[in-house]
A and B are shown apart, each in its own frame.
Chain A
Amino acid sequence: MEALIQLLGDNLQMIYILVFAILLGTEVISKVPSVLHTPLMSGANAISGVVVIGAIILIRQAASDDYLVLILGFCGIALAMTNVVGGYAVTHRMLDMFKKKKKD
Chain B
Amino acid sequence: MAITIVDTLYLIAIILFIVGLKRLSSPDTARDGNLIAAFGMGFAIVVTLVYPMEGNNNNYIWIAGGLLLGSLVGLIAAKRVPMTAMPEMVSLFNGLGGASTMLIAIVEFYNYPADQSLLSGQMITTDFALFVGCISFTGSLIAYGKLQGFLRDSWVLPFPKLINMVLLIAIIGLSIYLLNLPSLDFNYVLILLVLSLIYGITFVTPIGGGDMPVVISLLNSFTGLGAALAGLIYSNQVMLVGGILVGASGTILTILMCQAMNRSLFNVLVGGFTSTGPAAGGSREEVVKEASLADLAIQLKYSKKVYIVPGYGLAVAQAQHLCSELDNLLEAEGVSVKYAIHPVAGRMPGHMNVLLAEANVPYPKLIDLEDANKDFPSTDVVLVIGANDVVNPAAKEDPSSPIYGMPILDVELAKSIVILKRSMSPGYAGIQNQLFFGERSRMLFGNAKSSLQKLVDEVGNA
Contact = CB atoms under 8 A, between A and B. Distances in A.
Q: Which of A10, A42, A49, A51 has the most CB of B within 10 A?
A: A51
Contacts of B246: 25, 44-45, 47-48
Interface residues of A, number: 87
B156 interface: no
B66 interface: yes
Q: Which of B65, B87, B241, B360 has the most CB of A within 10 A?
A: B241
Contacts of B104: 51, 54-55, 58, 76
Contacts of B56: 60-61
B24 interface: yes
A78 B74 CA distance: 9
A78 B89 CA distance: 17
A92 to B, nearest CB: 6
B361 A40 contact: no
A3 B121 contact: yes
B402 interface: no
B78 A89 contact: yes
A77 B120 contact: no
Given A50-B239, A64-B57, A25 B66 contact: no
Interface string B15-26: 001101110111
Interface of A is mostly: helix
A18 B236 CA distance: 11
Interface in A21-66: 21-22, 24-26, 28-64
A72 B110 CA distance: 11
Contacts of A17: 237, 240-241
A72 B42 CA distance: 22
Contacts, number: 382
B37 A56 contact: no
Nearest to B349: A37
Given A36-B350, A79-B96, A84 B41 contact: yes
Contacts of B379: none
B35 to A, nearest CB: 8
Contact of A53 (B65, B75, B236, B343): B236
Contacts of A74: 62, 65-66
Given A39-B30, A41-B90, A84-B41, A73 B107 contact: yes
A55 B248 CA distance: 23
A10 B264 CA distance: 37
Nearest to A39: B30
B71 A85 contact: yes
Nearest to B355: A97
B59 A29 contact: no
Nearest to A38: B350
Contacts of A90: 78, 81, 86, 89-90, 93
Nearest to B220: A45
Nearest to A104: B360
B223 interface: yes
Contacts of B97: 45, 48-49, 51, 79-80, 83
Nearest to A87: B93
9 contacts: A35-B363, A38-B87, A38-B353, A49-B93, A51-B226, A51-B227, A52-B45, A62-B59, A98-B363
Given A41-B250, A84-B70, 5 more contacts: A31-B25, A49-B100, A56-B45, A61-B55, A104-B362
